[in-house]
Structure 1
Amino acid sequence: MQIADFPVPDTLAARGALEIARSYQSPALTAHALRSWLWAEGFARIDGISGIDHELLYVSAVLHDIGTVPEFDNHTISYEHAGGHVAVALTAGAGWPAPRRRRALEVIVRHNWPSVDPTMDAEGHLLEIATGLDISGSRPEVLPEEFRREVLRAHPRGTLAAEFGACVIDQAARKPDTAARRLVDAGIIGKLAANPLESF
């Protein structure tokens, strides 16, 4: 398994998602988004999950934390809902039909669920377990070590632990009824610091 096995979708929506991420997010958050996409694709292959909408998965992964940046932060709804609506707007401009646009919102929202049934939402499940690896260090041994090393060389973690930790603490304080509060209460700060990917 290697990065070349997972080509970036050559579509208007995919290009637009990456442009938005790079324009508004820090390099560390954008690298996290791209690693999350690659981990999701890797888990799909390892776990035998087929029939994936790869463009949907890529766009959702690249934009899944865009709701944390000041320009898209929402004062009432969770950052994952805010980011999902950014994806809806982007994909509307790219010509996606309404049901597929709603899928981008669902996948981004569900990445913050404690778990997602792959038979109900394969892309949501894959993004949830991929971000679980990149943030909390869940199931690193499932993906080949050389693949993990290649992805981390291409998209280094940098200041992700400090940046994302501060962001989630802020979100939890301002919006205590959202998933950010649950993440903080579940020890996400310690999990970020102890993530085995930090030592690669």
Structure 2
Amino acid sequence: MCKTTLTTIAGVKIPDSKLAVQATELLCEHGNEFLYNHSLRVFIFSVLNGQRAGLKFDPELLYISAAFHDLGLTPHYSSPDKRFEVDGANAARAFLQSNDVPPAAVQLVWDTIALHTTIGIAEYKEPEVALMYSGVGLDVMGEGYEHLSDEHRNAILAAFPRTDFKKKIIPAFFSGFEHKTDTTFGNIKADVCAYMIPGFKSKNFCDCILHSRWSE
């Protein structure tokens, strides 16, 4: 079932503002239970990481970012030629703009979603951006797993089960950009294509340099 009746999980309050509720409804409408559970775990992990680090952040904007962060993988929001992270960011921007959210907050959410897989940059930006990146890293790759208490881990998984996550997440990623594998050039999702497509070879940056139209 998409959407939880719990209001607080592992000490983290699930935002229930009008915007948060609408974002959840879009996640449930265009995503699925697997994506919903992942997105809510990411939000909670992000908040816990923020609390542990003593960071100040906007929980509502962080929640909306979590709700939209993988919606670019879904048919409804997927473009034919953009990275799925950008598709999700664009969807969130349109949603927030339609609700008259201030431009600075809209841009922050856009960056938070667009950069959530960008290793080496996201962690140095605004707290919301860095925390979303850390929450995704924790859920997908187990980064920071040791900082979760057993109590919190059990509570989160009881509310939002992983349901064979390790086996399902790579095909779930791939389904969102198998029609536009070139968008994975230069980013970690090229590894997904290599895993899912026998003999897949991504574009090569050095080839782009050497085969450019410049004479020297």
Range moving further from structure 2, 110-119 or 72-81? 110-119
Normalising by structure 2, report the TM-score. 0.78
* AA in 1 matched with 2:27: A
The percentage of aligned residue pairs carrying the same residue is: 25
The whole-number CA distance in structure 2 between the counterparts of 1:38 and 1:188 is 31
1:183 aligns with 2:172: no
> Can you list the C-alpha shifts for 1:80-127, whole angstroms capped at 9, x where unaligned?
100011111111222201221111110001111113455531111111
Q: Aligned to 2:158, what secondary structure does the other structure show?
A: helix
Question: What's the offset of the Cα at 1:174?
Answer: 2.0
Change (3 A) 1:78 1:166: same
Q: 2:90 aligns with which of 72, 85, 91?
A: 85
Q: Which gives a bigger RCO, structure 1 or 2 (Cα 8 Å, sep 6+)?
A: 1
1:1-200 matches, cutoff 5 A = 3=9, 5-49=11-55, 51-116=56-121, 118=123, 120-170=125-175, 171=177, 174-178=180-184, 182-185=188-191
The whole-number CA distance in structure 2 between the counterparts of 1:179 and 1:121 is 26
The whole-number CA distance in structure 2 between the counterparts of 1:180 and 1:165 is 18
Question: What's the offset of the Cα at 1:181?
Answer: 5.3
Is the 8 Å Cα contact of residues 116 and 129 (structure 2) preserved in structure 1?
yes
The whole-number CA distance in structure 2 between the counterparts of 1:75 and 1:145 is 42
Q: Aligned to 1:176, what secondary structure does the other structure show?
A: helix
Which residue pairs with 1:197 in the alignment?
Answer: none
The whole-number CA distance in structure 2 between the counterparts of 1:9 and 1:133 is 21
The whole-number CA distance in structure 2 between the counterparts of 1:78 and 1:187 is 13
Is the 8 Å Cα contact of residues 169 and 180 (structure 1) preserved in structure 2?
no
* AA in 2 matched with 1:9: P
Range moving further from structure 2, 64-73 or 116-125? 116-125
Question: What's the offset of the Cα at 1:62?
Answer: 1.2
The whole-number CA distance in structure 2 between the counterparts of 1:173 and 1:181 is 16
Q: Which has the larger radius of gyration?
A: 2
* AA in 2 matched with 1:105: W
* Structure with the higher helix share, 1 or 2: 1
The whole-number CA distance in structure 1 between the counterparts of 2:149 and 2:121 is 23
Normalising by structure 1, report the TM-score. 0.84
Where does structure 2 lack aligned partners over 5 or more consecutive residues? Answer: 1-7, 196-216
- Matched residues, number: 188
Where does structure 1 lack aligned partners over 5 or more consecutive residues? Answer: 190-200
Which residue pairs with 1:192 in the alignment?
Answer: none
Is the 8 Å Cα contact of residues 10 and 156 (structure 2) preserved in structure 1?
no
Q: Aligned to 1:182, what secondary structure does the other structure show?
A: coil
* AA in 2 matched with 1:122: P
RMSD: 2.5
Question: What's the offset of the Cα at 1:166?
Answer: 1.2
Change (3 A) 1:161 1:133: same
Q: Aligned to 2:189, what secondary structure does the other structure show?
A: helix
